[in-house]
Structure 1
């Protein structure tokens, strides 16, 4: 099998499992307990928080451990918007891009549907990019939060986050970015990016599913969504997942250490894969930005096919990939991300995404490109009139 669906999930790294193991076995203490067993767990949690903070260039107190990227997005969008509105009742609007992950979009829609906020969506161009000037035009003194993802999970487009965050800061609007897909591939220094909040997920990095982080800049108001014992400095109650935090910190540290070399290597392989597919599959369309793109994502539409049919052919041929976001699995509706870039519904339903693991080999991508050519040809032949 050639696994090219790393944007959906990655296997847990052995080093991460080894780091976690003590806290899944003998070191089982509750970090809120004031005895020796609990103190050891608390020390491990502090060390993991400091480790994550060192990678992000922030203070440990600005790191909140979550159950994953979805929870981090919910806490950022709802928590910051609610806190800002409580301080200034005029601020009842949330601004997001037209290509956000469902965790951000659904959080904003919840605020509108249940709590009376309004939601503005900044459009994107045909490559999925947000124009900072267009974003600025939507920011006014009624906006509680702006959220634009760092890198898109379906088409791989990388946003000019530093410019977008600067536009929000000029309007005194907190800026959140979903960096789940960017981690391990793009720089995560929060000071350089200028963001007020950033979401990360462990299982994209070689940590277990159910682990994640939300960075929130100091003095950014945040209303907790989970109430109870006041863990995570009051931002997220509940007994902390010590092993998960340790595993997340280890995975992030390992990914960041390898990133400069790894990202350059995979980007070169990705570009060759894109060039070959475009050259050998007639009518194929690259989606997303050709240059401002994640090193690990190549995404196409294959007019005259069905994306799901191409996926089935590829799976039979031993290539595992997807039609887009794993979080939209089971839906036969065309991708909202692709529709936002201007594609028609019929073309959008032919989408296939290839997302590469860090260790992907050149030979694997050469073989995969050939199998893509064969799969698309087979589907088109079946759909051709008799």
Structure 2
């Protein structure tokens, strides 16, 4: 029987989300229509907006429904940059990190290559934590020329949790807007948008048990990033198009349940992760826990197995019925050295030998034990398969 331990890539559809989607599909009406059936779908949409807002500590008017994390990150980064540079052409510095998800790295790099943005990167500690002194130095150097800062809340590969309030406090000295990709954080660590000091925050539905294709960009009421999509003016004129109330309802149901269960699941999955990591280090003493000592999300265990290659490890584990990954699944299935580990200072060989095990609502001790049994069997084979 196959064991799924790749919940950071996507996770099981929650029954409550499936039920909410099914119920919403029975509605007929455009939420922008003024007739009774249109008003009914609008009411459903706004109730969904309220649930997501409560789940992430935001005001309901700050929730902009969209298709998910990649769209949200592109909208926040490009939209805030364009808004800032339109008001002040010299305000074109973007501060980010070399360990971000590609849905942040790529739009930042695109702005640098095509829109004259000046991209600078913060440094990290060896365990992947943002170096706040480095951030403070960059902010002090560029001051009012900084268009925005974009730093993720939880790293999708290593599980490292960033100190977002400390980051926004540094930015506040020069009124710099801060965006955070919270896709790997929402539903897994406590999130409070209004207390965080953020200007914008990205959420994705399928990471918390909703269907793929729905998410939200949380945008402070004081901000108005330039829209990527112009049309009917829906979603505060930030994301035009007919609102997808069935997916919004499903996302809201999943988000509410995930946050309600958060404390219990953090404790349960944290205990499982601790058992997993201890057993891996006993079975393969040469293994490296990549973010050892950092504040990490409870569901994420990320290893380097020196002398192996990620693709060989993943293939061999899959042959044993264990589904894990090396890192992000959003790179069209292309494996290479982890840019996250390279950004943390690991060597090219080490960054090419990583395995990510991520737990979810359906994960059990039996799943962990099956992974460990498979690991003991495949690790010697992977060592032999790796060129000297």
TM class, shorter-chain normalised?
A: over 0.9
Alignment of 1:53-92 (within 5 A): 53-92=53-92
- Quote the Cα distance in structure 2 between the aligned partners of 1:221 and 1:202: 23
In the TM superposition, what is the alpha-carbon distance from 1:106 to its structure 2 partner?
A: 1.0
Partner of 1:342: 345
Deviations 1:297-327 (A, max 9, x none): 1011111111111111111111100111101
SS state at 2:302 partner: strand
In the TM superposition, what is the alpha-carbon distance from 1:48 to its structure 2 partner?
A: 0.6
- Quote the Cα distance in structure 2 between the aligned partners of 1:170 and 1:260: 34
- Quote the Cα distance in structure 2 between the aligned partners of 1:306 and 1:156: 21
Partner of 1:366: 369
Alignment of 1:243-282 (within 5 A): 243-282=246-285
Task: In structure 2, list runs of 5 or more residues that go unmatched.
Answer: none
- Quote the Cα distance in structure 2 between the aligned partners of 1:367 and 1:54: 38
Partner of 1:4: 5
- Quote the Cα distance in structure 1 between the aligned partners of 2:29 and 2:21: 13
TM score, norm. by length of structure 2: 0.96
- Quote the Cα distance in structure 2 between the aligned partners of 1:291 and 1:78: 30
| 8 Å Cα contact 2:309-2:386 kept in structure 1 | no
Structure 2 CA distance for partners of 1:290 and 1:4, relative to 1, 3 Å: farther
Q: Which moved more, 1:323-332 or 1:94-103?
A: 323-332
Show structure 1 runs of 4+ deviating over 3 A.
381-385
In the TM superposition, what is the alpha-carbon distance from 1:384 to its structure 2 partner?
A: 8.0
- Quote the Cα distance in structure 1 between the aligned partners of 2:45 and 2:57: 18
- Quote the Cα distance in structure 1 between the aligned partners of 2:325 and 2:332: 9
In the TM superposition, what is the alpha-carbon distance from 1:31 to its structure 2 partner?
A: 0.5
Structure 2 CA distance for partners of 1:54 and 1:149, relative to 1, 3 Å: same
In the TM superposition, what is the alpha-carbon distance from 1:329 to its structure 2 partner?
A: 3.9
SS state at 1:47 partner: helix
Partner of 2:313: 310
Partner of 1:377: 380
SS state at 1:199 partner: strand
- Quote the Cα distance in structure 1 between the aligned partners of 2:150 and 2:367: 36
Alignment of 1:1-386 (within 5 A): 1-24=2-25, 26-139=26-139, 140-383=143-386
Deviations 1:173-199 (A, max 9, x none): 001111101111111111332211110
- Quote the Cα distance in structure 1 between the aligned partners of 2:201 and 2:292: 22
- Quote the Cα distance in structure 2 between the aligned partners of 1:103 and 1:267: 27
In the TM superposition, what is the alpha-carbon distance from 1:151 to its structure 2 partner?
A: 0.6
| 8 Å Cα contact 2:230-2:240 kept in structure 1 | yes
RMSD: 1.4
- Quote the Cα distance in structure 1 between the aligned partners of 2:310 and 2:55: 38
Deviations 1:321-366 (A, max 9, x none): 0111101243243111110111111111111111111231112212
In the TM superposition, what is the alpha-carbon distance from 1:383 to its structure 2 partner?
A: 4.4
In the TM superposition, what is the alpha-carbon distance from 1:53 to its structure 2 partner?
A: 1.3
- Quote the Cα distance in structure 2 between the aligned partners of 1:282 and 1:384: 21
- Quote the Cα distance in structure 2 between the aligned partners of 1:307 and 1:333: 8
Provide the aligned length of Structure 1 versus Structure 2: 384
Q: Which moved more, 1:172-181 or 1:53-62?
A: 53-62
Task: In structure 1, list runs of 5 or more residues that go unmatched.
Answer: none
Q: Which moved more, 1:375-384 or 1:130-139?
A: 375-384
| 8 Å Cα contact 2:56-2:186 kept in structure 1 | no
| 8 Å Cα contact 2:79-2:228 kept in structure 1 | yes
In the TM superposition, what is the alpha-carbon distance from 1:57 to its structure 2 partner?
A: 2.1
In the TM superposition, what is the alpha-carbon distance from 1:382 to its structure 2 partner?
A: 4.1
